[in-house]
């Protein structure tokens, strides 16, 4: 499966929470599991579309765990057959795949990581924190709208500008769990 560079970005659009997002995730989850031939060990809805009430880009972010990223070529080929493109992001120890929006469905992002790193994934920590802190959901929504106005076509700048908010949440979660703090920005 050939890697693509990050696709050209249209204008960043932050929309109100859509009650259909969990349904889109569930349908795609079942499709992905059916293709994995047992290689996909876990999959979860992560990102802002997984948070009730969170304003977000209409992108269903998912994270899945496999035993070894170097041993899933057949699975990647099956994902490519349904529209997922392996996309180079520079992030270590993960594969990132994008399935572009089609007709009435949203865009899907699939982050594949190795099972041994599952529990410490910051994306899961952020989601879990936001699920239990509605005041943080509101603050994050406001930040996203502001940043979408500042960086309407620059996803890298938009993402980097969210870093201090995300870092503060992850620091708090790590402190609460007695874990060492981690840098949320992957190079």
Average pLDDT over residues 10-38: 94
Q: How confident is the model at residue 185 (pLDDT cuts 50, 70, 90)?
A: confident
Cα torsion at 9, 117, 56, 160 (round to 10°)?
Answer: -60
Instruction: Flag whether the pTM goes above 0.75.
Output: yes
DSSP assignment of 98-116 equals EE---TTS-EEEEEEEEGG
Spatial neighbors of 57 by CB under 8 A, at least 6 apart, are: 12, 13, 14, 15, 48
Residue 19: what pLDDT?
A: 96
**Angle 104-139-64 (CA atoms, 0-180°, nearest 5)?**
50
| Tens of pLDDT, residues 160-175 | 999 999 999 999 999 9
Q: Which residue, among 109, 110, 36, has the nearest Cα to 78 in the 3D structure?
A: 36
Give residue 150's pLDDT.
96
Can you give the pLDDT at residue 186?
65
What per-residue confidence (pLDDT) applies to 4?
A: 44
How confident is the model at residue 40, as a pLDDT? Answer: 97
6: pLDDT strictly greater than 70? no
Reading the block at residue 30, the tokens are: 């079942």
Question: What pLDDT shows up at residue 42?
Answer: 97
pLDDT at site 3 = 47
pLDDT in tens, 27-76: 999 999 999 999 999 999 999 999 999 999 999 999 999 999 999 999 99
Q: What is the mean pLDDT of the chain?
A: 92
| CA 59 to each of CA 34, 49, 98, 140: distance values in angstroms, whole numbers, following the listed order | 21, 7, 10, 16
Confidence of residue 110 (pLDDT cuts 50, 70, 90): very high
Which residue reads 């201090």 in tokens? 164
For residue 187, pLDDT beyond 70: no
- Pair 62, 109: CB distance under 8 Å: yes
Do residues 80 and 86 make contact, with C-beta atoms less than 8 angstroms apart?
A: yes
- Percent of the chain's residues with pLDDT above 70: 94
Domains and CATH numbers, the chain: 21-177 (3.30.460.10)
How confident is the model at residue 2, as a pLDDT?
Answer: 46
| Helices 73-81, 21-35: inter-axial angle, 10-degree rounding | 130
């Amino acid at each position: 499966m050939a890697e693509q560079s990050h696709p050209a970005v249209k204008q960043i659009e932050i929309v109100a929470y859509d009650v259909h997002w969990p349904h889109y995730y569930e349908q795609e989850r079942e499709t992905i599991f059916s293709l994995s031939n047992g290689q996909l060990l876990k999959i979860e809805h992560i990102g802002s579309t997984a948070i009730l009430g969170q304003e977000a880009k209409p992108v269903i972010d998912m994270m899945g765990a496999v035993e070894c990223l170097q041993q899933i070529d057949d699975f990647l080929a099956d994902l490519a057959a349904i529209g997922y493109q392996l996309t180079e992001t520079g992030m270590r120890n993960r594969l990132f795949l994008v399935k572009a929006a089609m007709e009435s469905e949203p865009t899907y992002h699939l982050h594949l990581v190795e099972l041994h790193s599952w529990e410490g994934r910051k994306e899961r920590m952020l989601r879990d924190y936001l699920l239990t802190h509605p005041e943080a959901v509101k603050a994050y929504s406001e930040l996203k709208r502001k940043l979408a106005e500042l960086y309407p076509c620059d996803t890298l700048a938009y993402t980097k500008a969210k870093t201090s908010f995300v870092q503060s949440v992850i620091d708090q979660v790590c402190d609460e769990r007695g874990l060492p703090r981690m840098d949320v920005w992957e190079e």
